[in-house]
Amino acid sequence: MHSPLAGLKDPDDRRLPRIAPPCGLVIFGITGDLARKKLVPAIYDLANRGLLSPAFALTGFARRDWSTQDFEDYIRTSIEKHTRTGFNERTWNQLRAGLRFVSGTFDDPAAYGRLAETVAELDKSRGTGGNHAFYLSIPPSWFPEVCEQLAATGLNQRHGNEFRRVIIEKPFGHNLESAIELSKVVSRVFDEDDVFRIDHYLGKETVQNIMAMRFSNTMFEPLWKANYVDHIQITMAEDIGIGTRAGYYDGIGAARDVIQNHLLQLLALTAMEEPVRFTQEAIRAEKEKVLSAVRLGEDLSATTVFGQYTSGSQGGTQVRGFLEEDSIPADSVTDTYAAIKLFVDTRRWAGVPFYLRAGKRLAKRVTEIAVVFKRAAHVPFENSEVTESGQNVLVIRVQPDEGMTIKFGAKVPGTEMQIRDVTMDFGYGHAFTEDSPEAYERLILDALVGSAPLFPHQREVELSWQILDPILEHWASAGRPDPYRPGSWGPASSQEMLARDGRSWRLP
Ligand code: BG6
């Protein structure tokens, strides 16, 4: 039926682009890798897509003794090198007019005084309207100092409808206790509703598609349960080593770096019940239920594996082992590979194992969720005629080649009843002409708009540490990590973990 309202523009119309209100973003750690490669280009790409207000301002805060010109050159180079949408002089000029740089150390009160003056000046000259977000792209050991300095200068104080928000990068602690400590510090200065914790996986289109796929269709959800699912594998494999990140990575390792956040978030989205609404409260509530229902195996030496890459050849190039990487102590026991088997104790998932694995220097870069279904209870063909028929699998490819694949058995053409596995593929690149925005574009925009569904709540962070802490403690007393060759799929012990259950890791 044709709606009488068709064609009228409703302010809540979801097809209208959401545009950030006039505001300023202050980045602490603007000279770091993350800011240079991801944050600055994402801000520019948002501006290029018309999603920032003309009154937007970007302030960098760092130790360097830069002039305004130095700062502009730095920002411009970062954009030219990493923009997704292409360099455009008009967008650049508009952005440039709102660039400011404050030089100072994170514990220098005078520098915060200059920051407060800059923010006030931007409100006047640029029209940022008292709305400011502070992005802490810095080691968490600095969070307390920066938050306290912001409070001491009154930069966390908003008036009327203005906003003052803080955006924080992981790691949110290194265990449950430190995560709680960190949160106390932040919450002394900012209200929980004004704290935006970044888990950049939640900004990825394919991760949001897990919810779209599950909750906007009828054909998947009836099968999405213990009655039909044999097990689920969640893989985040990277082919790179730790590069220049030794300072961050050593002592952190794969489990803290990506399982505590990205993989457990993927698990929560895969296993959760349908939220009653697409609001932050409703989505967080369902994710929290999943994380609270997680149960680890009783014998962690049989249900978890931690590994470390050795030197060897990867893709024809000789690469160093983790212990030979720059600045890594020769006796480091940091896990560059981690695999965990766990259960979600709910009626929907009773008895279904979830296998999570993540690692550096693996065979290739791929992140995927594979839902492996039970075998058919009865097949009315002679066994000898059923060739190569495995189990039905639904794979959600988070990256690269974003999309979905369903594997099922089909008859091989010919006079015999031969069955073979075939696949049905959906590729983002084929189905949509538009490129997916970068995760940071989405998340920075959401933080500026004040929309929190894609940001984990502190409770999720704590529940995730609660899952991981016993494993980390177990590994700390378990000796050395198991070695694995670069370009492999991890230590042999990881394959054995699944083999003991009569299963095997997929070769993505
Ligand atoms: C980060 C980790 O959160 O995610 C890195 O700290 C990892 O170690 C990175 O390399 C991977 O992100 P992406 O988006 O390339 O999968």
- The pLDDT tens digits of the residues spanning 214-238 come to 999 999 999 999 999 999 999 999 9
Q: What's the pTM?
A: 0.93
pLDDT band at 6 (very low <50, low <70, confident <90, very high): very low
- How many whole angstroms from 353 Cα to the centroid of ligand 1? 25
Tens digit of each residue's pLDDT (9 = 90 or more) over 227-274: 999 999 999 999 999 988 888 899 899 999 999 999 999 999 999 999
- Asked whether the beta carbons of 263 and 386 are under 8 A apart, the reply is no
Q: What are phi and psi of 306, to 5 degrees?
A: -125, 135
Predicted confidence (pLDDT) per residue in 135-165, tens digit: 999 988 899 999 999 999 999 999 999 999 9
pLDDT at position 389 over 70: no
Q: What residues line ligand 1, using a CB cutoff of 6 Å?
A: 238, 257-258, 367
Of all atoms in ligand 1, which is nearest to the CA of residue 245? 8
Work out which ligand 1 atom sits closest to the CA atom of 240: 10
Q: Is 293 a residue whose pLDDT tops 60?
A: yes
CA of 466 to the centre of ligand 1 (A): 22
Distance 232 CA to ligand 1 centre (A): 22
Q: In this structure, what token pair is assigned to residue 308?
A: 């470390």
Verify whether residue 430 is a known catalytic residue: no
The residue whose CA is least distant from atom 8 of ligand 1 is 257
Catalytic-role residue among 159, 262, 430, 457: 262
Give pLDDT, residue 16.
59
374: tokens are 């039970």
And the tokens for 462?
A: 């704590």
User: With bands split at pLDDT 50, 70 and 90, how would you rate the model's confidence at 387?
Assistant: low
Confidence of residue 376 (pLDDT cuts 50, 70, 90): confident
Average model confidence (pLDDT) across the chain: 93
Which run of H or of E encompasses 265?
Answer: helix 264-271
DSSP 270-300: HHPPPPSSSSHHHHHHHHHHHHHTEEE-S-H
- What's the 295 CA to ligand 1 centre distance in angstroms? 26
How large a percentage of the chain has pLDDT more than 90? 85
pLDDT at position 381 is 77
Q: Evaluate if residue 13 carries a pLDDT over 80.
A: no
The pLDDT assigned to 483 comes to 98
CA-closest residue to ligand 1 atom 7 = 258
Residue 384 has pLDDT above 60, yes or no: no
Q: Report, as an integer, the average pLDDT of 197-214.
A: 93
Q: Whose CA is nearest to atom 15 of ligand 1?
A: 238
